[in-house]
A and B are shown apart, each in its own frame.
Chain A
Amino acid sequence: MNAEMLRVRNLRVWYETLAGPVKAVDGVTFDLMPGEKFGLVGESGSGKTTLAHAMMLLIKPPCRIKEGRILLGDQDLLNLSQEEMRRVRLSKIALIPQESMNSLNPVKRIKDQIIDGIVDHSKNLTRKERRNLIRELLEKVQLKPEVADMFPHELSGGMKQRVCIAIAISLGPSIIIADEPTSALDVVVQRQVMMTLGRMQESVGVSVLLVGHDMGLMAQFVGRLGVMYSGKLVEVDTVKNMFKNPLHPYTKLLIECPPSLKEKREFKGIPGVPPHLLNPPPGCIFHGRCPKVMKRCLTETPDLEEIQPERWVACHLYSSEEKI
């Protein structure tokens, strides 16, 4: 097993616009342990996809990494050259993109798309070895070997998604970043795909960073969860703790709001809208929508602090007294 720890330190990813920088990811710090399933939730526009892409260094101008470190083992990915980073992608960190159904090339057969990355990472394989490898990978994601000779349009959404998982694990990476891998799928298919991903995670020992907005899916899949709001991590905790006793007011709302099948009730949204990131308000970024807003929140920005072992939260309700 080649598991390595991924540490993200104070990462800032900004979109440079004419009107000023849009701070899509603003000072994010977290660890991804070897073999761990970590979730990242947030509303659209909270910067979760930007963060996922930044970790692969896949961002394009006007977006750029302003500061911070992304450490894979001992190696800082930000110090690598383009070519070196290209080697790291797929072999060490693989991405399952959002709408991966559209990320497959429509005019190439599945087998060619699976083998493409492997060949590019300069593995010299005979034709027979390739065929066996493809079959093995397809088997791992529970697809029939015949799928190898098909084109993407012949597959259903869930099957395409599983092909993407097969590609992601093809070089045995230590980290898979799955960016809303099931947002376009039906619930039944979603469950099948998540089961496949879960099985991969267990058998290969790869760590998975699951990015999404569905709290239910997170509760069922990941072990630890980070909550993002307007480019900042506001809470990081184990899923069990977080659902039992959420700390940050935003997390509380996120857990309470979604409609469930248990009972009919009043529709409750989170009042207000997220702040504009071009011109974020001073103080706590959530204060405009927070039900427990205090005077201090308007001026002072809370830091992400470890208030109990393994429980991190950025909120003045819990921050240490000395600062007041």
Chain B
Amino acid sequence: MTPLLEAQDIKKVFRSGGFLKKNQTIALEALSLQIPHSPPIITGIAGESGSGKTTLAKLLLGFTGPSEGKVTYKGKDLEKMARSERMLFRQEVQAVFQDPFEVYNPFHKVDHVLTVPLIKYHLAGSKSEMRKIMENALEVIGLYPGETLGRYPHELSGGQRQRIMIARAFLLKPRIILADEPVSMVDASIRATILKSLLTLKKEYGISLLYISHDLTTTYQISDNILVLYKGSLVESGDAETVIKRPEHPYTQLLISSIPDPDPEKKWLKEDYLAVDQSSNEEKNEKNACKFVDRCPHAMAICRQKIPPLYRTGPSHTTRCFLYKGAEE
């Protein structure tokens, strides 16, 4: 059966410069990803800034086309969709973005962001029905409609605003919600409630989620599967428990060991195997080498000679690293 949303070996290259000097930045390469029809799953995508997380989000939402490979929704290429198919895709794949402050028009009441999609997709027959759908969506997300509807964005907290965005995504009855750093701008105590409402959407409404974040702890808590990106390549993927508990790629290990542990007895500042990375991004684009080689504590000669393939190291675990050469590619 064809997966619901699929990325097949996609690559995105940004070109810049003119006649004299041409620059290429490979934002993302050789990435494949599948979201099945059922059961609903939460896929976490982790990586540092510049790892291609947001480029991936844009490609999956069809905001921009891949340079190579294709993204398909229900088996249809996003770039070749007919208008009606595209409308359906836009309805069924929703997005929630990072900044809950900038997505609102300060002159409109917050109701505006909820009514526009309802009108656009003819989801409500009458005003009262529209109101009912809106109230229901807000309640599912854990907001009291009385406290939020009819207010202006500046009257609400960041957490409330972000949850209204999730309610907006929810009221279109999507199959997939793509959340790009949904909790990085809100306080730790509110983070939990937002993540909880995302989980409700999965459990009770069967909505699959793509959760993009640089924060491994929340990604681990919420996700079923995790993909780790580094400088545009997938370095490790697998089931969340395995990737976090038994990370294989040296980059994933570095990421996990860099999270400050709330335990004063642990030594976090002492171990110092990461050389300070001072080179800029452009120098890094050597053709045939592992992208992590300059920072890797296990770097070998072969790592500088060719790009490691993805090795299958477990039933649901793949790692792009020559350390696991024995495994099947």
Chain A interfacial positions (CB closer than 8 Å to B): 43-44, 142-144, 154, 156-157, 159, 186-192, 194-195, 198, 213-221, 239-240, 243, 253, 255, 257-261, 264-265, 267-270, 273
Q: A186 to B181: give the CA distance in the assembly, Å.
A: 13
Beyond A159-B278, A260-B261, A269-B196, 16 extra complex contacts between A and B, CB < 8 Å = A142-B276, A188-B254, A190-B260, A195-B272, A213-B187, A215-B262, A219-B263, A220-B264, A220-B266, A221-B260, A259-B221, A261-B217, A261-B220, A267-B192, A268-B192, A269-B192
CA distance A191 to B48 in the complex (A): 13
**Contact (Cβ within 8 A) A273 B214:** no
Contact A259 B214, CB 8 Å, known A195-B269, A219-B261, A243-B262: no
A200 to chain B, nearest CB (A): 12
Chain A residues positioned under 8 Å from B280 (CB to CB): 154, 156
Chain B hits for A188, CB < 8 A: 48, 254-255, 258, 274
Asked whether B256 is an interface residue with its Cβ less than 8 Å from the other chain, the reply is yes
Q: Is the CB of A239 within 8 A of B214?
A: no
- Tell me, rounded to whole Å, the shortest Cβ–Cβ distance linking A271 to chain B: 9
B88 part of interface (Cβ distance < 8 Å): no
Contact partner of A261 (CB less than 8 A), chosen from B191, B196, B216, is: B216
Residues A216 and B192 in contact in the complex (CB < 8 Å), given A188-B48, A259-B217, A261-B217 = no
Is B195 part of the binding interface, using a Cβ–Cβ cutoff of 8 Å?
yes
Nearest CB of B to A19, in Å: 14
In the complex, whether B49 has a CB less than 8 A from a CB of chain A is yes
Contact B220 A191 (CB under 8 A): no
Let me know if A186 and B48 touch, CB within 8 A.
yes
Residues in A whose Cβ lies below 8 Å from that of B266: 219-220
Contact with A along B202-230 (1 / 0, CB 8 A): 00000000000011111011000000000
Pairs A-B, 3 closest by C-beta atoms? A269-B192, A216-B260, A186-B48
Q: Are B188 and A239 in contact (CB under 8 A)?
A: no
Within 8 A of A (CB), among B241-296: 241, 244, 254-256, 258-266, 268-269, 272, 274, 276-278, 280
Query: Chain B residues with Cβ under 8 A from A240's Cβ?
Result: 264-265
**Residues on B with beta carbons closer than 8 Å to the beta carbon of A265:** 221
Q: List residues of chain A with CB within 8 A of the CB of B215.
A: 187
Contact A273 B269 (CB under 8 A): no
Q: How far is the CA of A218 from the CA of B269 in the complex (A)?
A: 12
Residues of B with C-beta under 8 A to A191: 258, 260, 268-269, 274
CA–CA, A239 to B262, complex, Å? 10
CA distance A268 to B255 in the complex (A): 24
Residue of B188, B216, B278 ringed by the most chain A CB atoms within 10 A: B188
- Known contacts A157-B49, A159-B278, A216-B262; A187/B188 CB under 8 A: no
A99–B288 CA distance with the chains assembled, in angstroms: 36
The reply to whether B269 and A267 contact each other, CB–CB distance below 8 Å, is no
16 residue pairs from A and B, CB less than 8 Å apart: A43-B189, A154-B280, A156-B280, A188-B258, A188-B274, A191-B258, A191-B260, A191-B269, A215-B262, A216-B261, A217-B260, A219-B260, A243-B264, A261-B217, A265-B221, A269-B196
Say yes or no: A259 contacts B269, CB within 8 Å. no
A190 to B189, CA, bound (A): 21
Nearest-Cβ distance from residue B255 to partner chain A, whole angstroms: 6
Task: List residues of chain A with CB within 8 A of the CB of B187.
Answer: 43-44, 213
Flag if A239 contacts B221 (CB, 8 Å). no
Shortest Cβ distance from residue A181 to the other chain B in the assembled complex, whole angstroms: 13
Q: Return chain B residues, CB-CB under 8 Å to A258.
A: 188, 217, 262
Q: Which residue of A lies closest to B259 (CB)?
A: A187
The reply to whether B260 and A220 contact each other, CB–CB distance below 8 Å, is yes
Residue B105 lies at the interface, judged by CB distance under 8 Å to chain A = no
Contact in complex: B255, A267 (CB < 8 Å): no
Q: Taking A186-B214, A188-B48, A219-B260 as contacts, is the C-beta distance between A257 and B189 under 8 angstroms?
A: yes
**Set of chain A residues within 8 Å of B272, measured between Cβ atoms:** 195
Per the bound structure, the CA–CA distance linking A267 and B221 in Å amounts to: 8
Q: Which of A215, A219, A269 contacts B191 (CB 8 A)?
A: A269
User: Which chain B residues lie closer than 8 Å to A195 at the CB level?
Assistant: 269, 272
Which residue of chain B lies nearest to A255 when distances are taken between CB atoms in the complex? Answer: B262
A47 to B210, CA, bound (A): 35
A187 touches B220 (CB 8 A): no
Kindly state whether residue B316 has any CB partner on chain A within 8 Å. no
A239-B220 CB under 8 A given contacts A195-B272, A261-B244: no
**B185 → chain A, closest Cβ, in Å?**
10
Q: Which residue of B lies closest to A215 (CB)?
A: B262
Assuming the contacts A186-B49, A220-B269, asked whether A264 and B263 have C-beta atoms less than 8 A apart, the reply is no
Q: Are B278 and A144 in contact (CB under 8 A)?
A: yes
Looking at the assembled complex, report how far the CB atom of A96 sits from the nearest CB atom of chain B, in whole angstroms.
17
Most buried by B among A144, A187, A189, A260: A187
Write out, one digit per residue, whether chain B residues 180-194 have a CB within 8 A of any chain A CB (1) or not (0). Answer: 000000011111110
Question: B193 is contacted by which of A217, A221, A243, A269 (Cβ under 8 Å)?
Answer: A269
- Cβ of B157 within 8 Å of any chain A Cβ, yes or no, is yes
- Decide: B276 and A259 in contact? CB cutoff 8 A: no
Complex Cα–Cα for A135 and B50 (A) = 29
Select from chain A the residue with minimum beta-carbon distance to B214.
A186
Q: Judge if B199 is at the interface, Cβ distance under 8 Å.
A: yes
Is there an interface contact between B262 and A190, defined as CB atoms closer than 8 Å?
A: no
- A142-B276, A186-B48, A220-B268 given as contacts; is B188 within 8 A of A43 (CB)? yes
